[in-house]
A and B are shown apart, each in its own frame.
Chain A
Amino acid sequence: MAGNLSLLVFSPLVFGILLLVVRKKGNWIGILATFFPVIVGSFFFHQYFKKGIQSISEKWPWISFHPKGFDSLKDPSFLTIDYELQLDGISLAFILLTVLLTFLAAILSWNIEKHRNLYFLLLLLLEIGMLGLFVAANLFLFFIFFEMTVVCLFFLSGKYGEKGKEKAAFHLLLYNGAGSAFLLFAIVLLFLQTGTVHIEQLQHLLHTGSVQLNELTKWSIVLSILIAFGIKMPVFPFHQWMVLMHSHVHPAIVILHSGVLLKIATYGLFRFGIGLFPNEWEKISGLLLFFALVNIFYGSLFALRQMDLRRVWAYGSVAHMGFVLLGLALGSETGIRGALFQSISHGLISGLLFLIVALILTRFKTTDIGKLSGLRQGSPFAVFLLFVGGMASLGLPATSGFIGEFLVILAAFEHHPMVGTLASVGIVLATGYILRAILSISYGPLPSMEGEKGTTKDFYSDFSDENKGNNWKWNMEKKRDPRVTYEVYEWLPAIVFVLFLIGLGIYPQWLIEFFVGA
């Protein structure tokens, strides 16, 4: 099986290479290139479930850091880093989320015109980073892929979006840079103390006590990891960059960012926080619970008073990630499963929500709740999407959002009833901000499309003046209202999202089976 996982990680490049050669039809190649990982991913899914293979791994010798005069006979693996990939159920769940969301995001970026090939290349590199970090079996590789996502995302978000995108990109870079600095420090410390960065080996060494870290080292590692992923998640004081990202960058990128990249935090905290330092995790779980609750309430309350739809969703994400942190902080089996479930489901939910943002933006040039209204007139489809997304987001039964939040709150009631009660209040607040947003958009008169050149392309391509292959003109000729007609690249991903959201809500066991090992 050697090499299979590498194929998975680098699968986006298989067709992506074409982007360097072929100048035209970049969007076709991009979609094809993102579709290939979906196939590879489902192949692994098939192997995992049908053949019952619990863990697939791959290993190549890579780097050794033996100092001069090191006796290699003693322990040749000491201070070496290998190229190790490993796939288990949890990784697979995140992998599938990644390939699906990237594919859908690529479809949604159909009419990006500005440096199209660069856009898709960056998207594919970003996908490699995301896939790589979910299957990385050691911290070093994890870090490399982690940084890769940050750099790709910097260029994507700084180049594609609207006014303020560059500021958002720099916020992203510096916040995440600070986070990765902490992570790097923790990794180097661990590496020097234990001589390895392989996660399972570390677990073994730390749990059996064959490597004794002193208290200071241990706590500085734990805190560094917490801060690193706390910024990524984002936890309350560090959330500003994420709100900026959500509200200024192209929705297709936000789908990936909110859907997958924020989940890196869940994954990281689960693998390196709980996984490596369970005892320390238990000791600070009180503090983490506090932060989780702060996130839930802060996010919900701020979402209530936002006038921009994207900012509502952004603060909603803060609240949702609060639930994830809550589940992780509890540390019980139910809690962790709930947190993981909530992560995946929130990935899908925010995918749908930002797809709606894309639909609205391309038509009305604004996401201001005050200016938008009457979406239901002649456009039941959009309202349908909005309601499915909103209901899933506030955790209505029969949607995937319900299962995640239910599991987390259930776990909270087991040990800390008070926390569970407070978290339930958070859900009520969620109902408030989501219904407020949805209702004010759906009812009332339909606003006119802004300006004559209200084309899908213009919005994102400030470089080009010409409107080649203008979809709107075509629609106008057919005498259809452009405000309520939808293109294939718009409704197709939407349907997929809806199917997954409802499917997971009705049959959650399907996803929970991935987390059996947790």
Chain B
Amino acid sequence: MDFSYEWHVMTPEFSILMTIILIGILDVLLPKKIDRKWFGWLAVGGTFLSFGLFLTLLPLDRTSILFDTFIFDSFAKGFKFILLFGGTLLLLLAVGSKKEQGMEKYEMEFYVLLLTALFGGMMITSSNDLITLFIGLELVSVSSYVLVGMNKWSKKTNRAALTFLMNGSLATAITLFGMSYLYGIAGTTQLQTFLQHFSEVSNPATRYLYIIGFCFLFIGLSFKWTTMPFSLWAPDVYEGAQTIVTAFLSAFSKIIGLIMFFRLIFTVFSETVLDQHVMFSIFQNSLLILALLSMTFGNMMAIGQRNVKRLLAYSSIAHGGYMLAGIASFSAHSMEAVTYYFLVYSLITIGAFTIVSYITDGNEADEQTFTGLFKTTPLLAISLTIFFISLAGLPPTAGFIGKWKLLISIIDGGSPIHYVTAIGMIGMTIVSYAYYFRIMASMYFQYPNKEEKFSVRLPLVILLFLCIAVTFLIGLLPNFGTPTWI
């Protein structure tokens, strides 16, 4: 057997892995007295290295290693870019923000877990095999279970972690069950072969089993991307976890779930011409309905929330709905629209949570904390305004272009259900104004509760600047947001 594969396409992943090992070993070897805070910078350095290596790989055509268990194609390029970018921002956020009480001891663990999640996500983007996909997903899940539960002194966190773990393992079980069906029929875990088998299905009974398998798979995966029907865990967990971890869940692990789903649907359905697309239209309609339900549910519930983390949790359910609709519409524009939206969404979510973690500083993220923010710290207020305006999908930020692209992708589908989804999406963004602008109103129009300025920390300023600059850059010049190599 020939083993001379092009291993260099895995160098971005390898460098992440090496950083993990390096941090782990250093933690053991270094004496106890030395402050471990700079591990964060080490992790950031690792992602930068990975990013650099990734950029050198861009000119490559589709490359695969080991019977397609690892491929490097345009899909992988696009999403790896988003993940690395988001991961770097998250690490910067983690470096810059104050850790909660008692968490100082766990610097090493914290960064290692963030990096393993990043590693898992990157593997998902370039895997072309059900097994790799699943293990990557588990890697992200296990890392996030621990990250959520890390602050074990807080009762709220413990409850959140337990909810998360229970729901998560149930979802994993369901996913695996669905996968086993698919494997049972197709006899292979490789997506490409799987696709061939799938397109040749003519027996209605086999097709029926396929539908069951996919349904289980989607239901299980919807846990990750927090849309209906598996979204109810989100508010509790988001509220209970540390703010950095909440940012991670909302901006990162959610996107990974969607990427995995997109990979499946992309490979399985893109090149298949089923007879009149019977299978696909069934999936499509039900997914669009689920998307519609999620946006409605998320936005409606968010209006009543007074805790900003909870509010953002519901809003992230709604955004999951938008993205799901974009994927499920599966028109010629989907790929471009969804990539763009992922990038924008992770950017602005991380930005928003940066400010939330900054202001709450480990306390309850009650809306009261934000009143009169413009009076005390105008910089933070204006940044948060930009992120919220972007989340609400208003121009001239990137959020608007993202919404526009998703809408084009949805309406291009052309059937009545597409129109309904598009109208629902537009309507729901208007509903979302109600709560985004409510917070903005309290920031600008009201007196602060206490005259307290928030001190400015360098990594956070860099982070905010990056987020805002990119939001405006790709908002005003959207062609930058969809590079040619995607």
Contacts of B477 in A (CB 8 A): 62-63
- Can you list 7 A-B contacts (CB < 8 A)? A63-B478, A140-B404, A181-B427, A181-B429, A184-B404, A185-B426, A192-B408
Interfacial chain A residues near B36, Cβ < 8 Å? none
Contacts from B to A (Cβ < 8 Å): 331-333, 335-336, 374, 389, 394-396, 400-401, 404-405, 407-408, 411-412, 422-423, 426-427, 429-430, 433-434, 437-438, 440-441, 444-445, 447, 477-479
A159 close to B437 (CB less than 8 A): no
Query: In the complex, are the beta carbons of A185 and B422 less than 8 A apart?
Result: yes
A359 interface hit (Cβ, 8 Å): no
Interface membership of A245, Cβ < 8 A: no
- Bound: A312/B441 CA distance, A: 28
Contact-residue bracket for chain A: 35 or more
Tell whether, in the assembled complex, residue A188 and residue B407 are in contact, meaning their CB atoms are under 8 Å apart.
yes
Say yes or no: A65 contacts B396, CB within 8 Å. Answer: no
- Return the chain A residue nearest B432 by Cβ: A177
Are B437 and A67 in touch, CB under 8 angstroms? no
Known contacts A67-B336, A173-B437; decide if A181 and B430 are in contact (CB<8 Å): yes
Are A188's CB and B404's CB within 8 A?
yes
User: Which residues of chain A have C-beta atoms less than 8 A from B407's C-beta?
Assistant: 184, 188
Q: Are B479 and A64 in contact (CB under 8 A)?
A: yes
Q: How far is the CA of A189 from the CA of B426 in the complex (A)?
A: 13
Quote the shortest CB–CB distance from A190 to chain B (angstroms): 11
Does A170 count as interface, using CB distance less than 8 angstroms?
yes
- Counting CB contacts under 8 A, is A191 at the interface? yes
B422's partner among A143, A148, A188 (CB-CB below 8 A) is A188
Chain B residues with Cβ below 8 Å from A62 are 477, 479
Looking at the assembled complex, report how far the CB atom of A94 sits from the nearest CB atom of chain B, in whole angstroms: 20
Assess the B429–A192 pair: CB atoms within 8 A.
Answer: no
List residues of chain B with CB within 8 A of the CB of A185: 422-423, 426
Query: A169: which B residues are within 8 A, CB to CB?
Result: 441
A residues 150-189 near B (Cβ < 8 Å) are 151, 154-155, 158-159, 166, 169-170, 173-174, 177-178, 181, 184-185, 188-189
- Whether A147 contacts B394 in the complex (CB less than 8 A), given A173-B433, A181-B430, A184-B426, comes out as yes
Select one of B408, B430, B437 contacting A65, CB under 8 A: B408
B426 touches A158 (CB 8 A): no
* Residue A68, interface by CB 8 Å: yes
Interface residues of A (CB under 8 A from B): 62-65, 67-70, 115, 118, 140, 143-144, 147-148, 151, 154-155, 158-159, 166, 169-170, 173-174, 177-178, 181, 184-185, 188-189, 191-192, 463
Asked whether, in the complex, the Cβ of A144 is within 8 Å of the Cβ of B400, the reply is yes
- Among A64, A144, A159, the residue within 8 A (CB) of B445 is A159
Cβ contact of A144, chosen from B333, B396, B444, cutoff 8 A: B396
Interface of B is mostly: helix
Expressed in whole angstroms, the minimum distance between the Cβ of B427 and any Cβ of chain A is 6
Most buried by B among A65, A185, A188, A192: A65
Query: Which residues on B sit within 8 Å (CB–CB) of A188?
Result: 404, 407-408, 411, 422
Q: In the bound complex, what is the Cα–Cα distance between A69 and B394 (angstroms)?
A: 30
Contacts of A159 in B (CB 8 A): 444-445
A166: contacting residue among B333, B427, B434, B445, CB under 8 A:
B445
A143 to chain B: closest residue by CB: B395
Indicate if the CB atoms of B479 and A158 lie closer than 8 Å.
no
Give the residue among B336, B395, B423, B445 with the most A Cβ atoms within 10 A: B395
A74 → B minimal CB distance (Å): 14
- Are the C-beta atoms of B426 and A192 separated by less than 8 Å? no
Give the residues in chain B near A181, CB-CB below 8 Å. 426-427, 429-430
Measured in the bound complex, the distance between the Cα atoms of B422 and A408 in whole Å is 39
Scoring B331, B333, B447 by chain A CB atoms within 10 A of each residue's CB, the highest score goes to B333
Assembled-state Cα–Cα distance A510/B155 (Å): 75
Q: Which residue of chain A has the shortest Cβ distance to B438 in the bound complex?
A: A170
Nearest-CB distance from A467 to chain B (Å)?
A: 19
Given known pairs A158-B445, A174-B434, A181-B426, the reply for A151 and B389 (CB within 8 Å) is yes
Shortest distance from the beta carbon of A220 to any chain B beta carbon, whole Å: 8
A118 contact set on B, CB distance < 8 A: 374
What residues of chain B lie closer than 8 Å to A148, measured between beta carbons? 395-396
A166: B residues at CB distance < 8 A: 441, 445
A126 CB, min distance to chain B CBs, angstroms: 14
Residues of B within 8 A of A178 (CB): 430
Cβ contacts under 8 Å, B374 to chain A: 115, 118
Cβ 8 A contact of B411, one of A70, A170, A192: A192
Contact partners of B441 in chain A: CB under 8 A: 158, 166, 169-170
**Chain B residues positioned under 8 Å from A192 (CB to CB):** 408, 411-412
Q: Give every chain A residue within 8 A of B447 (Cβ-Cβ).
A: 463
Top 9 nearest A-B pairs by Cβ distance?
A: A67-B332, A144-B395, A177-B430, A181-B426, A188-B407, A63-B478, A147-B395, A177-B433, A181-B430
B contact residues around A68 at 8 Å (CB): 332, 335-336
Closest beta carbon of chain B to A374's beta carbon, Å: 36
Which residues of A sit under 8 angstroms from B394, Cβ to Cβ?
Answer: 147, 151
Does A65 contact B433, Cβ atoms closer than 8 Å? no
Q: Which residue of A lies closest to B479 (CB)?
A: A63
Q: How far, in Å, is B77 (CB) from chain A's closest CB?
A: 14
Instruction: Tell me, in angstroms, the Cα distance from A191 to B405 when the chains sit together.
Output: 12
| Bound-state Cα–Cα, A77 to B396, Å | 23
Q: A221: shortest Cβ distance to chain B, in Å?
A: 12
Which of A155, A169, A463 counts the most B-chain CB atoms under 10 A from its CB? Answer: A155
Tell me the minimal C-beta distance from B276 to chain A in angstroms. 22
Q: Is B400 a contact of A147 with CB atoms below 8 Å?
A: yes
Alpha-carbon distance A34/B374, docked complex (angstroms): 25
Q: Name the residue of chain A whose CB is nearest to the CB of B409.
A: A67
Q: CA A330 – CA B336 in complex, angstroms?
A: 44
Instruction: State the CA gap A241–B461 with chains docked (Å).
Output: 39
Closest A residue to B436 by beta carbon equals A173
